[in-house]
Amino acid sequence: MTAVTETVYKVTGMTCGHCEGAVTAELTALPGVTSVKAVASTGEVTVVSATPLAEDDVRAAVDEAGYELAGQV
């Protein structure tokens, strides 16, 4: 069985499905990420990856999507 890391982040600025899609697309592009679930109504983004991600990398991806990473939940 492969070890996985699941981390929940708080992202501010997401208001709709398009926002969720933009954040999901950017985070999915990070190396090792196997799944992303963004929920605009809560501002929470769950990222599953093969190894723990550097928060700077997650922040850069969220910034690229046009939103702000508030940190881990």
CA distance 60 to 26: 9
pLDDT band, very low/low/confident/very high, at 5 (cuts 50, 70, 90): very high
Segments making up each domain of the chain, as ranges: 5-72
9-47 residue pLDDT tens: 999 999 999 999 999 999 999 999 999 999 999 999 999
CB atoms within 10 A of CB 1: 3
How many Cα neighbours within 13 Å face the side chain of 26?
Answer: 21
pLDDT band, very low/low/confident/very high, at 3 (cuts 50, 70, 90): confident
pLDDT for res 1: 53
Fold of the domain built from segment(s) 5-72: Alpha-Beta Plaits (3.30.70)
Higher-confidence residue: 2 or 41? 41
Percentage above 90 pLDDT, the chain: 93
